[in-house]
Structures are given as C-alpha cells and as structure tokens.
Chains A and B, each alone.
Chain A
C-alpha cells in the first residue's frame, strides 16, 4: 500500500505538511519535484496532518508535488563495501561509486544497556605527545576537541585518523568547507588510510537537514562494525554546525527555545549521539572524537557547555597547541598506569613545572627581576613547547617520555624536578 499524496498543505522552512493516513512516525517519504526526487522524514503527526522535514530543503517544492511514503525509517547500507567510500549527509555516494542498497540498517538505534558496558581499559596511541603522554585517548572514550574557528582542528583530526591504531575510521563532516573535505580526502588517500575509512560528508553548501543526519549515519555504521569485533574511531567535525542545524529545525517547528535559541532537548540530542561510544564485551569498540568550535571562544556557550557535561573530558586546541591546562582525559587513569612506570609521575611533574614557567613568564612580562630559577623555567618552557607541545612532533609514547627526561636534564638538577628518587635513578639521562 504505497499511496501517493499530491496535496501539500503548507511549506514552512524545510518542513512540509500533507494530509495522509496510516503514516508512521519517523518514516521516510519520497517527494517528486520538478528538480528531481528527494527524501523527507516524518517528524510530527497530528490526526491526518503529517509534518515532514525535507532533506534537500523545501526550496522549489510545489504544493502540487507528489509525496510517497516508503513505510520504513531512515536506513543506511552496511557491509564491507562501505570501506573507502564517501557519502553525503543523506547516505548517497559522493565519489561516483555505485549506490549501496544491500543489508540496510536503521540509524539512531536504541541505547546500550549500561549493565553490558565494561570499563574502558585500552589506550589508543596517536603519536601526538600532548595526547599520548599527557591526556591519553582511551578506547570507547567520547572526547570533544574544543576549538575556535581558524585553528587547525581538521588537520589534527586528519593526523589522528592517519596515525591512530584502530581498524576502521569513520569521518562524519558537518557543514564542512569544500576545501576541508578535499583536504581530508587527499590526506587520507596519500597516507593510504582511505582503504579503511568511510566518510559521510555534509558540506556547507549542502541542505541543512542533511547535516543532522551525519552523526546518526556515522555512528550506526560504527556500531555495526564494532559488533563485528572491529575497533572503530569515529571522527566528527564540527558538532556546533550539527547543533545549529537542530536549532534551525526546532525554530521552524515553533518549539520554545531554551538558551540562545537552541531547543530544550539539545542535551539529550547530543547525549544520544555521544553515548554511542562503547566497548562491547567480547566484540569491538566505538571511540568518538568530535570537534566543537566555540563561538567567540566562550566555553559557556550552550553547545560546548552541554557537550562538556556529556563527554569524558576535552582537548582544548588553542593557538595551534593542545593546551595542557583545561585539556583533560577523564579516563587516562585507567590506562596510564600500565604503560611505563614513569608515565604518571613525569606527566604530573612536567605539567607542574610548566605551570611554574607560566608564572615566571607573567612576572617577566610585568618587568620583575628574573631569578636563576626563573631563567631555568623560561628555558624549560621554551623546550617543552617546541619539543613536545608542537603539533608537528610525531613520536611514540616511549620516545616522548625519554624526550621529557632529556628536556628536564637540560634545564634542571635532578632534585629540582620534585620527581621520585627511584625514577630519577632509572631514567635521568647521563
């Protein structure tokens, strides 16, 4: 029973309403317009009035256009054929490859039973000292990268995608600049990572509604691979665009806005996506790294604020560096005890010294006298920034730890570092 309806009652924003019977909530519909056939999703039912959000936008939709309900919700094909492919926000190929229709799975599925979750316990190595050494990324963790427009967050994501020790990478791009999309594609292609990468890319010029589908598509596929035992890393950029797209739909639907125009369910909307990060006992895992740009560098803006309450820490990318203060991986304690015996102590010690360096720097800028100790700290700070903090540094954790000891030895006497004597005995370079 696939009836065609030809009477569209209203078109507001990207939402159209038609009179129809027997339509189920969240089902898909096809709209045939003069410019082709597009998809739409049921978002509200009121007696026989059905509201649909049109994925490609309602621009150019005529009240006489035909709407056909498909009788199933939004789905995505899942198989190994996805690997190396690039799709758009509605799941259509963007890379001139064939459309995939086999083994369709629903998106936005149910939540994982908390009693089936296990404690995160495996580190994901990235080759970036500021992550591996100071705020380790843990399998099944959900972490945002808080940043500001103009910072190299996409470059950072691309590097993590190339270097992280995972089986499959899923990249979800939302409101991406076309250049950035090409950058991702070319970088991953060049490094040979494209073969185990799947991309769902919504660019800034694509219709807004499709932006809201990207996280669900990416995570539904990620979840299926994880259930097959794969370690999946899901990279999302930029979640602020996703929230803005949600805002747009909410306002169109005349929902009461809660905070700066964002809908009241922003927290739930973000949480249901981020909570897809999971480590399945006896199978694989999903880890989420998501860029959240902070409008005006304001961490109290509703998007980063709600995100912070959901995620397990955050990386602050500022002035091209991952800030040691403010960045936090809540799960690092689970893994950094098993790496090397000096990892935790060196991590704490070096950060404390770096904090002292910042104080000395402040004193210097205010024109105070610099003591010997201040001079040592200033030297240390400069070395720390260039040899560990700089994002171009690319070394495994063990080398980063050795490098840390070398920097300390170049600047300080052993007893000035406040590190335990047994560690100094073992690791201090001679």
Chain B
C-alpha cells in the first residue's frame, strides 16, 4: 500500500498547513519529514484542499515544501499488559526509556514503543470455533495483582470465529496468540496488544449502570458531606495555592479503587517528580504492595508541547476505559483540565475560528461534556462490573469560578468540590468550601443524618457573619452556642491534617464512629452560663477531639481518649 503524502504550505506556531496529493482523513495522524526526524501531528481541519495539522512538537525549522506522510490511522494508543507502573507523555511515549535514549532533554520526533515486548503467562479462555465480537475476552495474563484480560479489538465489526488460539504458556506481548476469521473468510491475527483511537470511547460492555456505590477517599469532608461515586465525576476548581494538587495526590494514594491513572496535564514538572519518587516507596493499604503497581502516570507538563497536552487527557481516559472492561474500578485524576481547555483555545486561535467567551472556542462545552461522559459504571458480559471515575481540577483565572471552563465543567459533573482562598489562607485544609460545594451522590452516611449536621454549619456561618457587625456582645447565648458547634464541626471533622500519620486517612468505620460522636455533641443541649464558659467548654472538647483524631485505632490510648472526650461532653450535657 502506498503512503499518502503531501507537502507543507504554511506554518503558524504549532499549526502546519499541508497541501495533500490524494485524500486525507480528518483526525488522522500525519508526519512531517524534517531531515532525519518525523514530527507527529493530527489533521484537525481540512479546508479548500489544505489540511491543517496540529503538531505535537516544536515547529522550529519546518519550511514550505517539506514532505508530509499521512498514516491513515487516527491518533491512537496501544493497550495491553505492561501499562501499569509506567510513566508516559501525552502521546504514550515512555519517559524513562526516552531518558535512557536521549538524556536530560526531550528530543523531538523520537517515538518509542509504549509497551515493552516481554513475556507473559497467557491462559486462553475460549476454544477454536467459538464466536467473538468486539471487546470480548479470549484469555488472560497476570499483571501484578490483577488478572489482565486479553480482548478482541474494540473497533472490530461484526461477528468472528476463533480460527486458532495458543495454548497456555509464555508468549511475548507482540506475538500472535490468536487468529480469528469471519464468514467472508477474512482472517485477523491478534496479539496481546490492541490499538485504540483515543477520541473514541471504548464500548464492549452490556449496559451502563447508575453510579450508586461511594468511592471512599478517606477524606472526611468528601466521604461524609460531598461524596463521590464509583463511576461518577467530580471537579475541584480553586485558585493557585489552594491545595488542588495536594488534594489529588492524597486522593490518588487513599482512594478505594483498583487502578489510579494520573494525568498531569500542563502542570508543574516538580509535582510529577514528587509522585515519581514517592509512590514506589508508599504502600497500598489495600494490597500491601507498592502504590506504583496500581498507577499509570500520563505526564505532559506545562513546558511540553501544547498540542500533546490536549491529547494527554484522551490517552488517559482511553487507558481507564480499557482497564474498566476487565471488571476493575479505575480512578482518573486530571490535573488540570483548564490547561487542556487552554490548549484547545490556542489551536482555535491559530485556526482563526470565531472565539467564544474569553476566546475559548464555541465547542469548549461539548468537548468537556464528552470527556466527563466517558466516566461511568458498566456491567460487562460476564456479569461483573467495572467503573471509571473522573476527577478533574480546574484552575480558574483569578480564582473566579464564573469563567467558561469552570461553568462548563459544573454542568456535567456529579459533585463539585470548590476550594476557597479564604480557607487555604487560614490554613484550613482540605480547603473545600463546605457551603458552596455540592454532591449528587450517595455517601457513606445516610443523607438525613448528614443534613442535620449541615444545618449547623450553615447556621454557624450566619451567626459569624452577624457577629462581625454586632460583635460578640450583641449575639445571643443560643446563637453563640450554634456558632461554636459549627466551628467544632469545621475543626475536628471538615479539616484534616494531611501530614499527620493517623489523621491523613480516615477509614469508613472510623468516620462512622467519629460522625456519631460529633452528631451527639452537636445535637445535644448544654448547661452553660455565659459565653466565656461556652468558649472554654468547646475549646476543651475541640482539643480532646483532635487528640482522639490523631490516635491510631489499634492503639491502647484509643478507648481511653474516646472516653475522656465523651466524659467531658457529659459534664455539661443537659
């Protein structure tokens, strides 16, 4: 088959216009040939016989007349065993291998095999003659602690029969292990690796289910008050310095899921380095193995080419869907979706499209919606379920949530964890604003119970606003007690010390117990004479509660500290 070609007719930033000779497919990948390097790009528009490529590399040195080769394939990733523990760039280039080859710097035009061609222990699950359709599994290999299902490509059309399949044994990932044929007599060789276009959602499941099971993050304010469901979506907007990334790192460590995919999209390289150095050392409490074994990192940091930043979120979500189809729960953390939106804006500007709000393209909302809609809980053909949960941070300009990216995201997510500068300045972490944020999912504690406590947070906020005007003197004793109760909830429950070895993760049982104690304190009436006594009483309770929070559940002092806390409360209870 001859390669379709063209030649460059214009360069504008990372947009290259190409006059094509024959035909061209929208969104296919093309390579600009520059001396010895091939620069990858994607056709994003075809107009008047000229294809516009967004180039995933720096465009320095490209000249008019340079040869372009079209691959005939859409932008794709390779899926197969060996993805876990890896660190890729936005185009699925393995970064450590790239470093071995090119040294300190990211040389352009170097594309390596994303999945190493190593041996895996393959166990077939189908026999010759059995029929398969797209997405069916025909065997499995063990990948770390998971059973990695080997599947028929998701893009396959119609029904096929297994013509031959290898016996149980060791095979390399690129070896042909199965042949299938259809009734037209066409034959396809299958290996353990599938190539999947990134902008096309992976199907291959029976039905989509409602996300109804909470995804525990061990962060109290989230699990109790603003829960996230497995298969759900949530967003975390916040100004710089409010702790978005720290919160995501915490979630990636503690979340009760099988696999975590971190898409560091256009953010600081230093933060990725922290994950890279820390995760191999940290233990996954669920499996006792290194956290890295359940993690894939897609990292396209802020100084890497902009167009690849746009690709990186799609690369990540495609991998998430792939593992979901093995019956696993996957969490995708995208930091930050604003940078992705900005990459779209940059391209749109170069294409000279008519700009929308703040120069973002008109299709911003639909792209964001499309991306978040790829989350979900599904029932697979064998009856098992899998899920993709998406959590995206948003970095609104000036910390103002009224901007297009935040607003477009809020329309499509199931939970909103808004971080506030006010709370982070007061060192109240996690700085999620309990009053502005919301969640449509079911948490670990029944809604009615939570609602009662929530009403105290609101009441307390009202009183504190009022106190700013009339002072403590002008506030009634009852109001003052409500205010102190709200403050107590904030200090001992909403805030959590991520540097404390115990407090940084609060398991479900512990949250339940804490919540019951807290509810009892908040909903009780007390015999307290004046404001001074109120303040002193709640200060003491707060101190005891914080000590209790910092005590390991299995230690000897646990019951003792609980008792002294309850004892203190009982002293003044009416």
Residues of A with Cβ closer than 8 Å to B?
21-27, 44-48, 73, 109-120, 227, 255-259, 263-265, 267-268, 271-272, 274-276, 280, 299-302, 305-306, 308-310, 312-313, 325, 328, 331
For A267, list chain B residues within 8 Å (CB).
Answer: 266, 302, 339, 342
When C-beta atoms are compared, the residue in chain A nearest to B269 turns out to be A114
In the complex, the answer to whether A259 meets B342 with C-beta atoms within 8 Å is no
In the complex, the answer to whether B346 meets A264 with C-beta atoms within 8 Å is yes
Q: Does B274 contact A (CB under 8 A)?
A: yes
For A227, list chain B residues within 8 Å (CB).
Answer: 104
In the complex, the answer to whether B10 meets A268 with C-beta atoms within 8 Å is no
Q: Does B62 contact A (CB under 8 A)?
A: yes
When C-beta atoms are compared, the residue in chain B nearest to A24 turns out to be B63
Q: Does B87 contact A (CB under 8 A)?
A: yes
CA distance A47 to B65 in the complex (A): 9
Q: Does B170 contact A (CB under 8 A)?
A: no
For B103, list chain A residues within 8 Å (CB).
Answer: 113, 116
**Binding stretch for chain A, among B70-78, B91-99, B436-444, B447-455:** B91-99
CA distance A304 to B240 in the complex (A): 11
In the complex, the answer to whether A309 meets B395 with C-beta atoms within 8 Å is yes
In the complex, the answer to whether B10 meets A45 with C-beta atoms within 8 Å is yes
In the complex, the answer to whether B301 meets A255 with C-beta atoms within 8 Å is no
CA distance A280 to B349 in the complex (A): 36
Instruction: Evaluate whether A264 and B273 lie within 8 angstroms (CB atoms) in the complex, with A46-B12, A115-B99, A302-B397 already known.
Output: no
When C-beta atoms are compared, the residue in chain A nearest to B50 turns out to be A47
CA distance A255 to B345 in the complex (A): 11
Q: Does B24 contact A (CB under 8 A)?
A: no
Query: Which of A26, A110, A118, A313 makes the CB contact (< 8 A) with B273?
Result: A118
**In the complex, how many angstroms separate the beta carbon of A262 from the nearest chain B beta carbon?**
10
For B58, list chain A residues within 8 Å (CB).
Answer: 110
Q: Does B82 contact A (CB under 8 A)?
A: no
When C-beta atoms are compared, the residue in chain A nearest to B360 turns out to be A258
In the complex, the answer to whether A275 meets B397 with C-beta atoms within 8 Å is no
Interface bin, chain B: 35 or more
CA distance A194 to B306 in the complex (A): 38
In the complex, the answer to whether B302 meets A110 with C-beta atoms within 8 Å is no
For B115, list chain A residues within 8 Å (CB).
Answer: none
**In the complex, how many angstroms separate the beta carbon of A51 from the nearest chain B beta carbon?**
9
CA distance A310 to B304 in the complex (A): 13
In the complex, the answer to whether B346 meets A113 with C-beta atoms within 8 Å is no
CA distance A355 to B60 in the complex (A): 51
Q: Does B59 contact A (CB under 8 A)?
A: yes
**In the complex, how many angstroms separate the beta carbon of B352 from the nearest chain A beta carbon?**
8
3 closest Cβ pairs, A-B complex: A300-B398, A271-B302, A275-B303
For A25, list chain B residues within 8 Å (CB).
Answer: 11, 59-63
CA distance A44 to B65 in the complex (A): 14
**In the complex, how many angstroms separate the beta carbon of B420 from the nearest chain A beta carbon?**
14
For B65, list chain A residues within 8 Å (CB).
Answer: 21-22
Query: Which of A117, A120, A259, A325 makes the CB contact (< 8 A) with B397?
Result: A259
Instruction: Evaluate whether A113 and B240 lie within 8 angstroms (CB atoms) in the complex, with A24-B63, A275-B301, A310-B302 already known.
Output: no
**In the complex, how many angstroms separate the beta carbon of B542 from the nearest chain A beta carbon?**
15
CA distance A351 to B418 in the complex (A): 27
Q: Does B106 contact A (CB under 8 A)?
A: yes
CA distance A310 to B17 in the complex (A): 31
- Interface centre among B59, B342, B397, by most A CB within 10 Å? B397
CA distance A322 to B558 in the complex (A): 44
In the complex, the answer to whether A44 meets B12 with C-beta atoms within 8 Å is yes
In the complex, the answer to whether A271 meets B303 with C-beta atoms within 8 Å is yes
For B269, list chain A residues within 8 Å (CB).
Answer: 111-112, 114, 117, 275
For B62, list chain A residues within 8 Å (CB).
Answer: 24-25, 45
| B77-95 interface code vs A (CB 8 A; 1 in, 0 out) | 0000000000100000001
Query: Which of A268, A312, A331 makes the CB contact (< 8 A) with B302?
Result: A268
Instruction: Evaluate whether A22 and B64 lie within 8 angstroms (CB atoms) in the complex, with A47-B10, A113-B104 already known.
Output: yes
In the complex, the answer to whether B397 meets A312 with C-beta atoms within 8 Å is no
For B306, list chain A residues within 8 Å (CB).
Answer: 265, 268
Query: Which of B10, B106, B352, B399 makes the CB contact (< 8 A) with A110?
Result: B106
CA distance A23 to B61 in the complex (A): 8
For A274, list chain B residues within 8 Å (CB).
Answer: 303
**Selected A-B contacts with CB under 8 Å, 16 pairs:** A22-B63, A23-B64, A25-B59, A25-B60, A25-B62, A44-B12, A45-B10, A45-B62, A111-B105, A111-B303, A112-B303, A114-B87, A259-B359, A265-B13, A265-B306, A268-B266
Given contacts A113-B99, A116-B99, 9 further A-B contacts (CB under 8 A): A48-B64, A113-B95, A113-B102, A115-B276, A116-B103, A267-B266, A267-B342, A275-B269, A275-B303
